[in-house]
């Protein structure tokens, strides 16, 4: 996943270099910014993950739901 600060290139002169975050999970299908610096994404494994901006680095900090641990 890539995060880029679009405000830095608002004038159209500066190039933005996105920060790449390697996923430890299946690909994400959707996501939402909760606030600046916090992003929640969920994908094929149906588990929401929290990503946080710490300093200038984005990291996957935790899962918000452990999912189903018992088989039916």
Q: Which residues pair with 52 in a beta bridge?
A: 38, 59
Q: Which residues pair with 3 in a beta bridge?
A: 19
Give tens-digit pLDDT for 30-72: 999 999 999 999 988 888 999 999 988 899 998 888 766 655 5
- Distance (Å, rounded) from C-alpha 63 to C-alpha 56? 21
Judge residue 43's burial from the number of C-beta atoms within 10 Å of its C-beta, 0-12 exposed, 13-18 middle, 19 or more buried: middle
- Give the pLDDT score at 68: 65
């Amino acid at each position: 996943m890539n995060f880029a600060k679009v405000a830095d290139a608002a004038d159209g002169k500066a190039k933005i270099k996105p920060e790449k975050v390697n996923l430890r999970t299946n690909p994400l299908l959707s996501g939402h910014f909760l606030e600046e610096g916090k992003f929640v994404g969920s994908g094929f494994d149906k588990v929401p993950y929290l990503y946080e901006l710490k300093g200038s680095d984005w990291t996957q900090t935790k899962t918000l739901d452990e999912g189903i641990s018992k088989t039916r």
